Amino acid sequence: MARLIDVAKAAGVSRSTASNVFNNPDMVRPKLRQRVEAAARDLGYLGPDPKGRLLRDGKFNAIAVLPPSSWGVAESLRNPVYSQVLMGIGEVCDEVGANLVVIPDRPDNHGIKNALVDGFIFGRAGHLSEIEPARLRRLPFAVVDFDPGPNISSVRVDARAGAYAAAKHLTGLGHRRFGIVSFMRSSIPAQLHPAGVPRPAEAAGMPTDQEKYRGYAEALAEAGIDIANIPMVQADPWDGKAAAMILDAAPDATAILSMGVQQGIAVIEEARRRGKSVPRDLSVVGYNDIPDALRCDPPLSTVDGMSIQKGRAAARLVFAGGPPRHEIITPNFILRGSTGPAPAD
Amino acid sequence: MARLIDVAKAAGVSRSTASNVFNNPDMVRPKLRQRVEAAARDLGYLGPDPKGRLLRDGKFNAIAVLPPSSWGVAESLRNPVYSQVLMGIGEVCDEVGANLVVIPDRPDNHGIKNALVDGFIFGRAGHLSEIEPARLRRLPFAVVDFDPGPNISSVRVDARAGAYAAAKHLTGLGHRRFGIVSFMRSSIPAQLHPAGVPRPAEAAGMPTDQEKYRGYAEALAEAGIDIANIPMVQADPWDGKAAAMILDAAPDATAILSMGVQQGIAVIEEARRRGKSVPRDLSVVGYNDIPDALRCDPPLSTVDGMSIQKGRAAARLVFAGGPPRHEIITPNFILRGSTGPAPAD
DNA sequence: CTGAAAGCGCTTACAG
DNA sequence: CTGAAAGCGCTTACAG
């Protein structure tokens, strides 16, 4: 394939002049320009190859997003909460005119090592093994929902505060008997953690979910309730069985605390299936807000997990460069129709 | 910053050997290898720069998606139908281990000309002006939902057939009085195209929507109905006013044909607001299927627009390379709760 | 197992 | 307005 230099030779000019014909046409006398253009046509030369330009300029005009490990590109787009993080990043891309590159996990951090981008955003909680290769690239990057220490930019949501607000709302409504749906960040079957049996921190899920657990625990303690005595089901957000499991495990609960939004919606649906009225017989709160939470019947009272803002903040941090910064976003509780006063006993 | 050659010099070896230390460590005697590694450490060299490798290898391991013009990255992710196309592409990326690059429209086709990718997918109907620069890149690419002629790979859905099935379903249920909600692919206010007034093809929307219109027209004609006598509202899918407009414009309609899915859902909601029961008083069909269509009450009978499959097929075409191919996917009608027999007069 | 050489394709300051 | 030169950083066949 013809290169710029071939065109230059054919037209009898130097490479610089040929380059200018394509990049700064005004700088080249029309006659000469036409000669170069004709030579390009003859040789089938289609304009400068971005590869060459790239090597020279060193700027990619793109930002990479590394989704949670094992998710892949498709799953990142499908997950309604994660796709909000992507949207937030996308908004900033649109502002600065950058491309968004989704880079799935690959063996040996191949993606990170070779990504043709100007910066990274890690949406993978806790993958220190990936942060090191990213650092080696000497590119700006930020992590989301994970505390990587003071030297790495991060954006986090105060999940404890969000969960606290949700649980506090329920105790304020007089609820005293609860069930919890926690997070399983992999696709193994839902698991019951019965009341009174000691549970490891991981029973709640990832560190973020463990913070939610602490938030629940705090609010409940303030109402004199020991969270250890509340049955908990740990499940993948898409697991269809979790809602039934928690209602079975906590048959006299008047309120369900869900660490995810899909499971919160699923509990509402399962309650209806069982002839329970939400919120008259049962109150349900979720965590994170997606369009379905508004559309379901009744609309789900939930915590706005600020996912879009999270993505936006992380992208801004990366595009801004500079020294590491740490942002903590405080979530809001959104009161909708799925919560009400505890039923009289 | 240190380069490979600096490390090689410092270690007293050739560039090739230094390169091998990083890329084929087994090929280098341990002692020598350690010397190179030490030199790298001393110089703060962090491994081969992907830019250089790239220029050499010429493979990006990435596919570009060009969303509909003027959408930007964020909007592409937010749109529930388009994000399905992205998911389909993402699935193929995951299969072949490629990155997904979302490239928004930029002046002078800058994105296309400089994209560091191995191929393109155009999700922009009708932008011939963008197809030319893509062709200049001599990279494989495919277009979605648009007929670019025989020389360019394309994936299309037979929208006419889908719309025909939807309308046929309704005439089969005895409906004779309709309203149509068509597509406006920009954010200007909804527009009423009253019955009996001649309408240009663009009243339906983009070419794809015009095909839907033809599908409706055909099915209706088979029931002896002239589509020209059916009021139509043309609106952006998010336009909150369209549902009310069409119910006002077609007050005696027993069925609404919507070319989009969000508007179909909106019509159901507006009907409820007006005290009309769906489907007893009013049947509603949409086009395209998203989770909300299943979740709404009653669930929306709609056409599965095969968006995921569309994305998947386009990505496969691009990754396969080879001569242009043209795929046409036939959509399915999905019968759910929003359609029923026409009410007796 | 190691080294010298060629090549990937382009742009930009600089001198004229 | 135009050209000669330097540089962006790396890899791979080839010869030894």
The answer to whether the CB of B312 falls within 8 A of the CB of B56 is no
The answer to whether the CB of A77 falls within 8 A of the CB of A300 is no
Query: How is the beta sheet containing A191-193 ordered, strand by strand?
Result: A191-193, A232-235, A178-183, A255-258, A283-287, A301-304, A332-334
A78 with B99: Cβ contact below 8 A? no
Secondary structure E strands in chain B: 62-66, 99-102, 119-122, 141-144, 153-157, 178-183, 191-193, 232-235, 255-258, 283-287, 301-304, 326-329, 332-334
Residue of A nearest to B93 (CA): A73
* Structure tokens given for A144: 């989301």
Of residues A16 and B167, the one with the higher pLDDT is B167
B217: amino acid identity, one letter:
A
Neighbouring C-beta atoms of residue B198, cutoff 10 Å: 7
Q: Which nucleotide is nearest to B24 (CA to C1')?
A: D11
* Structure tokens given for B293: 């269509």
Q: Does position B126 have pLDDT exceeding 60, yes or no?
A: no
pLDDT in tens, B173-202: 999 999 999 999 777 899 999 999 999 999
Residue A280's nearest CA partner among A175, A126, A148 is A175
B122: amino acid identity, one letter:
F
* Rounded Cα–Cα distance for residues B130 and B137 (Å): 11
Query: Concatenated DSSP letters for A321-344?
Result: -SS--EEEE--EEE--TT--PPPP
A87 with B78: Cβ contact below 8 A? yes
- pLDDT band (50, 70, 90) for residue B125: low
Residue of B nearest to A111 (CA): B99
Average pLDDT on A180-199 reads 92
Q: Which nucleotide is nearest to A17 (CA to C1')?
A: D2
Of B83, B99, B138, the CB nearest to A103: B99
pLDDT for the residue numbered B326: 96
Judge whether residue B16 contacts strand D, using its CB and a 7 Å cut-off. yes
Token pair 């063996």 in the structure block, residue: A107
* CATH number, domain B159-305: 3.40.50.2300
Q: Which residues contact B238 (CB under 8 A, 6 or more apart)?
A: B262
pLDDT for the residue numbered A186: 75
Secondary structure E strands in B145-225: 153-157, 178-183, 191-193
User: CA–C1' span, A51 to D2, in Å?
Assistant: 25
Residue B297's nearest CA partner among B333, B327, B273 is B273
* Rounded Cα–Cα distance for residues B130 and B55 (Å): 25
Report the SS3 class of residue A29.
coil
The answer to whether the CB of B157 falls within 8 A of the CB of B125 is no
The answer to whether the CB of B21 falls within 8 A of the CB of B49 is no
- pLDDT band (50, 70, 90) for residue B15: confident
* Structure tokens given for B311: 């994305």
pLDDT for the residue numbered A126: 52
Average pLDDT on A35-47 reads 87
Question: Which one-letter DSSP state was computed for residue B241?
Answer: T
Report the SS3 class of residue B232.
strand
* Rounded Cα–Cα distance for residues B273 and B244 (Å): 10
Of residues B297 and A336, the one with the higher pLDDT is A336
Average pLDDT on B111-115 reads 88
Q: Enumerate the domain spans of chain A.
A: 62-157+308-329, 159-305
User: What does the angle CA B204 – CA B184 – CA A289 come to, to the nearest 5 degrees?
Assistant: 130
Mean pLDDT rounded to a whole number for chain A: 92
Residue of A nearest to B296 (CA): A295
Report the SS3 class of residue B137.
coil
User: CA–C1' span, A14 to C15, in Å?
Assistant: 15
Which nucleotides of strand D lie under 7 Å from a protein CB?
A: 1-14
Judge whether residue A198 contacts strand D, using its CB and a 7 Å cut-off. no
Q: Which nucleotide is nearest to B19 (CA to C1')?
A: D11
- Same fold flag, A62-157+308-329 and A159-305: yes
Of residues B132 and A170, the one with the higher pLDDT is A170
* Structure tokens given for A214: 């602490």
Query: Concatenated DSSP letters for A266-326?
Result: HHHHHHHHTT--TTTT-EEEEES--HHHHHSSSPPEEEE--HHHHHHHHHHHHHH-SS--E
Q: How far is A179 from chain B (nearest CA, A)?
A: 25
Judge whether residue B20 contacts strand D, using its CB and a 7 Å cut-off. yes
Q: How is domain A62-157+308-329 classified at the CATH fold level?
A: Rossmann fold (3.40.50)
Of A50, A58, A91, the CB nearest to B114: A50
Residue B95's nearest CA partner among B312, B339, B323 is B312
pLDDT for the residue numbered A105: 86
pLDDT for the residue numbered A49: 87
Report the SS3 class of residue A155.
strand
Mean pLDDT rounded to a whole number for chain B: 92
User: CA–C1' span, A10 to C14, in Å?
Assistant: 25
- pLDDT band (50, 70, 90) for residue A124: low
pLDDT for the residue numbered B262: 95
- pLDDT band (50, 70, 90) for residue B235: very high
pLDDT in tens, B22-53: 888 888 888 888 888 888 888 888 888 888 88
Average pLDDT on B311-335 reads 95
Q: Which nucleotide is nearest to B57 (CA to C1')?
A: C8
Judge whether residue A58 contacts strand D, using its CB and a 7 Å cut-off. yes
pLDDT in tens, A252-284: 999 999 999 999 999 999 999 999 999 999 999
pLDDT for the residue numbered A127: 62
User: CA–C1' span, A118 to C14, in Å?
Assistant: 30
Average pLDDT on B257-266 reads 96
Q: How far is B5 from chain A (nearest CA, A)?
A: 16
A103 with B102: Cβ contact below 8 A? no
B94 with A104: Cβ contact below 8 A? yes
B100 with A99: Cβ contact below 8 A? no
* Rounded Cα–Cα distance for residues A318 and A327 (Å): 13
Q: Which nucleotide is nearest to A20 (CA to C1')?
A: C11
Judge whether residue B189 contacts strand D, using its CB and a 7 Å cut-off. no
* Rounded Cα–Cα distance for residues B69 and B66 (Å): 8
Q: How far is A64 from chain B (nearest CA, A)?
A: 9
* Rounded Cα–Cα distance for residues A253 and A344 (Å): 12
* Rounded Cα–Cα distance for residues B177 and A255 (Å): 47
- pLDDT band (50, 70, 90) for residue B241: very high
pLDDT for the residue numbered A26: 85
Which nucleotides of strand C lie under 7 Å from a protein CB?
A: 1-14
Q: How far is A31 from chain B (nearest CA, A)?
A: 24
Compute CA distances A263 → A186, B53, B127, B318, whole Å: 15, 46, 42, 38
Of A55, A72, A136, the CB nearest to B55: A55
pLDDT in tens, B132-153: 787 888 889 999 988 888 999 9
Q: How far is B294 from chain A (nearest CA, A)?
A: 10
* Rounded Cα–Cα distance for residues B299 and A185 (Å): 30
Q: Taking CB atoms and an 8 Å cutoff, what residues of chain B touch A74? A: 87-88, 90-91, 93-94
Q: How far is B253 from chain A (nearest CA, A)?
A: 26
Judge whether residue B59 contacts strand D, using its CB and a 7 Å cut-off. no
pLDDT for the residue numbered B274: 96
The answer to whether the CB of B124 falls within 8 A of the CB of B65 is no
Least confident of A33-42, A113-122, A188-197: A33-42
Of A52, A88, A114, the CB nearest to B55: A52
Compute CA distances A265 → A242, A280, A338, B140, whole Å: 11, 16, 9, 43
pLDDT in tens, A196-247: 999 999 999 988 999 999 999 999 999 999 999 999 999 999 898 999 999 9
Most confident range (mean pLDDT) of A21-30, A110-119, A219-228, B292-301 is: A219-228
Average pLDDT on A117-143 reads 82
The answer to whether the CB of B144 falls within 8 A of the CB of B76 is no
Neighbouring C-beta atoms of residue B168, cutoff 10 Å: 18
Buried b (16+ CB within 10 A) or exposed e, A190-202: bebbebeeebeee
pTM listed for this prediction: 0.93
- pLDDT band (50, 70, 90) for residue B65: very high
